[in-house]
Structure 1
Amino acid sequence: MDREVLKKAFQIVWINGKGWLLLTLVSNILLGITPLIVLWLSKELINSVLELIQNKNPENYQHIIVLIAGQFAVTSTNSIIKHFKDYYDKVFSIKLDQIIQESVLTKISEIPLNIFEKQDFYNHLVRINGSQGGRFIAPINQLLEILKVSINIVGFLFFLYQVHFALVIFSFIAAIPMYILNKKLGTRGFLIKYHNTPAGRELEYIVHLFKDRQTTKEIRVYNLTQYLKEKWKTRFQEVVKDTIKLIKMNQATKLGTETISTLTYSVASLLIVHITSSKRLTIGDFVAVGQAVQGLQNLFNQISLLFANIHNEMLYIKDLFDFLEIRTGTDTNEAEAIDFDIGVLKNEINIINLSFKYDPNGRDILKNINLKIKKGEKIAVVGSNGSGKTTFAKCITGLYPIETGKVFLDGIDINKIKPGSLYKMFSIIFQDFNRYAYSVYENIGYGDVEKVGDYEDIERIARLCGIDSFIQNFKEKYHTRLGKRLFDGEDLSGGQWQKIALSRAMFKGSEIVILDEPTSALDPISEKNIFEEFNKMFSNKTVIFISHRLSSIKFADRIIVLKDGCLIEEGTHDELIGNKNEYYNLYHSQAEWYTSKVMSQR
């Protein structure tokens, strides 16, 4: 058992559920005492009934009624305590699950974006999904259950030891193999889930392809249904194969331990008969001893199973703690980090010797980038696919952790700025911008969630971006939900979604705006027109345009050319054309391609 993991779990339970913990402790103590009382009452009841039959003494009736009433009261109290405890277990489990899931969501939001590129991260994320509240209280509950069982055991041991010490030994024998086998089974079950997580993710992905209305179109058109079903079937059988092996082992283990339990009980029964014949035991004593042996045997088996279950649950809880302790990538203590007020970029962004790689042993995606961007300057970052343009944008905004080189805002290292404060400095429209399945108000208002209820300003931004006209055609205007993912909302065209994303960026009102190829799906002329429109809208902002189409960004104050992660050229469009280097070659090769395409369409 990992004591450190159990200690952390206990601290979380104690902080959030002192009342539940104390209630569980008291209820388990009471539940531990009641079986002993029931055993004594049963013994007395049998003896009283026998005496009534043998002696025909009417006074025994009253005694029997008292014993029966006592049995009823104890059994009813036991049942009430159990159901009361089960109710509060479930309620607290739900509460704790919410707390843990909130912690997981918070952690996910803090983890650097480059970690999302790793498959191990997604596998880990899948493993910790589900009801963690129940898993957290399980080992605590089981420890307290052990306390209850231990009280039972002490009582039964005292009772049986007075009859014969060998009865104690026979009751204990079966518990040892049960503990060892269940512990091994639990570990094997965790490892099977651990190793099958990638296959499980693929199964979920294939099912998603069939269920999602966007992806199912192509599956039908390309006749992929049978092929993907076979792929799903193969993966499913791989997972099921291991699961069936585990079930087989589990059943074999149960059969083995139950056989040992039955055998030891049979031997103990013979001993009880021998003791009864050699000592003067009443029928009630005989029945009570038999019940005590069987009960003690079950209790030893139960306590061994509880210890094994605690070990098994700790494996899952440790996996959760490992996730919550993933490094966030920042080298700055939160208490030492500083705020950088929105809209106060006074001078420049200064990038010094910036390099970046996803994996410590992998290749450099960015290599020794040095660049200064003045306040209010319009910069275009260009290059072929894979040149590092998007990675560059994610590094300077703090989405990717910077481990080699520095990025300064007005001389302040962005690693020293609180992430939330840093993100306020940037409005970004990514190529794969989000399309939220909520209202128009929310889709725009999410640019600044603190003002998401400022409907007047949202509508002003929508008019400025030219989307108010089509929103007014919706039945519920700005309250209209968009998309079909969650609700029966309005579907928008690609261009309309792009303008929603633009409105969101404008509503945020940040000092620095980054447009990371949000119009790459459009034709070159449309993209050029939209970029020029963006340039006018953000005339008083520092803007970074990212594009692989050079004809769209000729208006920029300065053009930065990336190739294989290196900054190889910078200047105005005319300057770079005059240099006749990489930019010149890219520009003319694209111009020739567009010209030949136009000619072929005539």
Structure 2
Amino acid sequence: MILQKYKKKLTTLLNVLKFIYGRYTTVAVARDILFVVGTASEVYSITIAGKFIDEVAKILLNWNQFDMSQFLETQAFFHLVTILVLWSIIQSCNQAKMHLYNVIYEKVWEDARYMMIAKVSKSNLQDVEQEKFQDLLTYAPAYSIDRIIQTYNSFSSIVSSVVRFVSAGIIIFETMSWSVLLLILFVLPEIVVVHIGRKKIRTYQDDEVGKLKYLNYLSNLTLTISNFLELRVNDTFAYAKRKYTQEYDEFLEGYLKKDANLYRNRAIISILGQSLKVGYVVYVLSFSIVKRFSLGTFKALYDYVDMAYGSMYSVLDSITYISSLLGYDEKFFDLMEYEGFGDHEHGIKKLGNNTPVVQLKNLSFSYPDDPSTLVLKHIDIEIKPGEKVAFFGGDGSGKSSMVKILSGLYQIKSGDYLLDGISVKDLDRGQLKKNIAVTFQDFINYNFSVRENVVISGERKNINKHLYNEVSRVSQITEFLKKEKIDESHILGKTFPGGKDLSPGYWQRLAISRMLYRNKKIFIMDESFTYIDSESKDILLQNIIKYIGENRTMIYITRSVEDLDLFDRIYFFENGKVVEVGNFKELMKKKKKFYKIANES
């Protein structure tokens, strides 16, 4: 168990170093070189400072008056100039290191966030909804990313501190022999106490990730401009502020208590370490008196003792600090390495260029968080290329769950879902996405330009102007631009200055146009006219069917019987089952439940 724990930490450390040195090799290596050069200059400057003091002592004892021309010829002046040169090197290295650190810091945040976005974009809804995945997604930006940078920085400081300790230790060893090793023992008590304190803080933060998730939700809820209307008018802000303060105070109470314990214990135990170091300095002083060392030599020895003590403390503290940080770091890499069903359950087969046949064979489905409740039961459907079909049903009938299954967002465990006779389990990753375009019931209002709202769903870097103009016409974007007196470059929403908010109906038209711009072989529309008036809906739907044409497939999900006569076939869903199938005339002739609903509408 302990061996596995340390193996995991070593793996995480290697991942951190690979992340930094693999991505920013030139910057990271250059910074390490600056560490070594700066440290070597700092160590050498102590020796030179000691020599300078000795030379100045001679001048003070032997000169009756100061003569600049004579002083310029002395060793004291030479050492003074050398100290200035070394100081300049040290300062230059420090400033360059700070700049390179800032470069790495910003690049790590940019790349880590991009990697998180990429990870989510390649995941399935079933995986994203998992508690473990969501916890990692919350934890990584809050704790992991910044600590990856701190881990690298601590690792780099170890290099500098080792050079400092070895250099100072060798010089002290030449005079004080093996007693220099006592300095290592002097720093251990504080290191142990600090390590234990940090571990307690990390454990607390691990345990409270659920509270952190809740705080993030409250923050996003209240700071999202589109939520302002309801929050302000109904005074929901009051409740949100109260809950945020209450939850954050509870979190801080536990965290700050452990943080206070850490610094209190550190302050107490550090006195012991410094006292032992002072004792060693007294020993060095007594030794210097016996050996009749000069003032400069003793001063240099004192500075080297201070450097050796501080460097050894820095090395051991950095090692234990890294050990603590790795517990945070590993969560980021756990997220990157998280594998869902899509990572395992896929094949290598690809679909052809034609619109595929869509088949569901005896498919049953339950959501992972409630496996005992079937939301789809023994579904058998076949949709031929070019057919326009409707899934009709009320709330809880299963039609929206069908959208998620058809989009490949959940794993098929009972029955099968096939395209052109190939099970989706055997398709290469991305094949579904390449063939399907969807307008979801809960669409997104992108606070980008009108044009971006349409083409954002396209895979092309360059805009297909002809396609853009066509889908804008079909979804009536061109008309509402004229009505609102804005152009396609106008920013929408209230997030950015000058942005224009739209009515829900216009936002929904943009969502429809995004689906059309994807220009795929199968189009799925889930309650896509919720905010659009009946007259406009009739025109839009006919435009869309004409745009899709005879060779591409359309699946229309609705709870309304309006316009169902436009479709080749209707699947009537109820309680997760298909209870009636046929075109509008056929279902009306059967005079069953669909007939009753249609007559009551």
Determine helix, strand or coil for the equivalent of 1:482: coil
The alpha-carbon deviation at position 237 of structure 1 amounts to 0.7
After superposition, the Cα gap between the structure-2 partners of 1:505 and 1:72, relative to the gap in structure 1 and judged at 3 Å, is same
1:261 aligns with 2:268: no
1:570 aligns with 2:549: no
1:53 aligns with 2:63: no
Q: Distance in 1 between matches of 2:289 and 2:566?
A: 108
After superposition, the Cα gap between the structure-2 partners of 1:505 and 1:169, relative to the gap in structure 1 and judged at 3 Å, is closer
Determine helix, strand or coil for the equivalent of 1:173: helix
After superposition, the Cα gap between the structure-2 partners of 1:155 and 1:534, relative to the gap in structure 1 and judged at 3 Å, is closer
Q: How many residues align?
A: 587
1:4 aligns with 2:11: yes
After superposition, the Cα gap between the structure-2 partners of 1:588 and 1:117, relative to the gap in structure 1 and judged at 3 Å, is farther
1:88 aligns with 2:100: yes
Q: Quick one: which amino acid aligns to residue 21 of structure 1?
A: A
What is the aligned counterpart of 2:308 among 270, 277, 296?
296
Q: Quick one: which amino acid aligns to residue 450 of structure 2?
A: V
After superposition, the Cα gap between the structure-2 partners of 1:388 and 1:190, relative to the gap in structure 1 and judged at 3 Å, is farther
The alpha-carbon deviation at position 14 of structure 1 amounts to 3.3
Q: Distance in 2 between matches of 1:439 and 1:20?
A: 37
| Contact 2:572–2:580 (8 Å) recurs in 1 | yes
| Contact 2:378–2:577 (8 Å) recurs in 1 | yes
| Contact 1:178–1:304 (8 Å) recurs in 2 | no
Determine helix, strand or coil for the equivalent of 1:90: helix
Q: Describe how 1:216-365 pairs up with structure 2 within 5 A.
A: 216-330=228-342, 337-341=348-352, 344-345=354-355, 348-359=357-368, 362-363=371-372, 364-365=374-375
Moved more, 40-49 or 104-113: 40-49
1:19 aligns with 2:29: no
Q: Describe how 1:352-501 pairs up with structure 2 within 5 A.
A: 352-359=361-368, 362-363=371-372, 364-450=374-460, 453-501=463-511
Gaps of 5+ in 1: 595-602
Residue of structure 2 in register with 1:28 after alignment: 35
Q: Distance in 2 between matches of 1:423 and 1:24?
A: 44
The alpha-carbon deviation at position 517 of structure 1 amounts to 1.0
| Contact 1:190–1:316 (8 Å) recurs in 2 | yes
Q: Quick one: which amino acid aligns to residue 496 of structure 1?
A: Y
Residue of structure 2 in register with 1:514 after alignment: 524
1:114 aligns with 2:126: yes
1:201 aligns with 2:213: yes
| Contact 1:515–1:544 (8 Å) recurs in 2 | yes
The alpha-carbon deviation at position 457 of structure 1 amounts to 3.3
| Contact 1:524–1:552 (8 Å) recurs in 2 | no
Determine helix, strand or coil for the equivalent of 1:450: coil
Q: What is the TM-score of this pair, normalised by structure 2?
A: 0.88
1:172 aligns with 2:184: yes
After superposition, the Cα gap between the structure-2 partners of 1:495 and 1:360, relative to the gap in structure 1 and judged at 3 Å, is closer
Moved more, 521-530 or 60-69: 521-530
Q: Distance in 2 between matches of 1:246 and 1:300?
A: 26
The alpha-carbon deviation at position 248 of structure 1 amounts to 0.4
Determine helix, strand or coil for the equivalent of 1:483: coil
What is the aligned counterpart of 1:69 among 76, 81, 103?
81
1:588 aligns with 2:596: yes
| Contact 2:184–2:312 (8 Å) recurs in 1 | yes
Q: What is the TM-score of this pair, normalised by structure 1?
A: 0.87
Residue of structure 1 in register with 2:3 after alignment: none
Gaps of 5+ in 2: 1-5
The alpha-carbon deviation at position 474 of structure 1 amounts to 4.5
Q: Distance in 2 between matches of 1:485 and 1:341?
A: 42
Q: Distance in 1 between matches of 2:329 and 2:274?
A: 35
Alignment RMSD (CA, Å): 3.1
After superposition, the Cα gap between the structure-2 partners of 1:499 and 1:283, relative to the gap in structure 1 and judged at 3 Å, is closer
Residue of structure 2 in register with 1:598 after alignment: none
| Contact 1:448–1:507 (8 Å) recurs in 2 | yes
Per-residue deviation, residues 117-162 of structure 1 (Å, max 9, x unmatched): 3344333212222697764454344333222212221222223334
Q: Distance in 2 between matches of 1:571 and 1:169?
A: 89
Q: Distance in 2 between matches of 1:223 and 1:332?
A: 47
Per-residue deviation, residues 468-515 of structure 1 (Å, max 9, x unmatched): 222124544222222223342333222222222223323333221111
Determine helix, strand or coil for the equivalent of 1:200: helix
| Contact 2:446–2:492 (8 Å) recurs in 1 | yes
1:128 aligns with 2:135: no
The alpha-carbon deviation at position 516 of structure 1 amounts to 0.6
Per-residue deviation, residues 278-301 of structure 1 (Å, max 9, x unmatched): 442322233223222222221121
Q: Distance in 2 between matches of 1:466 and 1:278?
A: 97
Per-residue deviation, residues 93-128 of structure 1 (Å, max 9, x unmatched): 323433333222211100101223334433321222
* Percent identity over paired residues: 21
The alpha-carbon deviation at position 277 of structure 1 amounts to 4.2
Moved more, 449-458 or 143-152: 449-458
Determine helix, strand or coil for the equivalent of 1:174: helix
After superposition, the Cα gap between the structure-2 partners of 1:538 and 1:132, relative to the gap in structure 1 and judged at 3 Å, is same
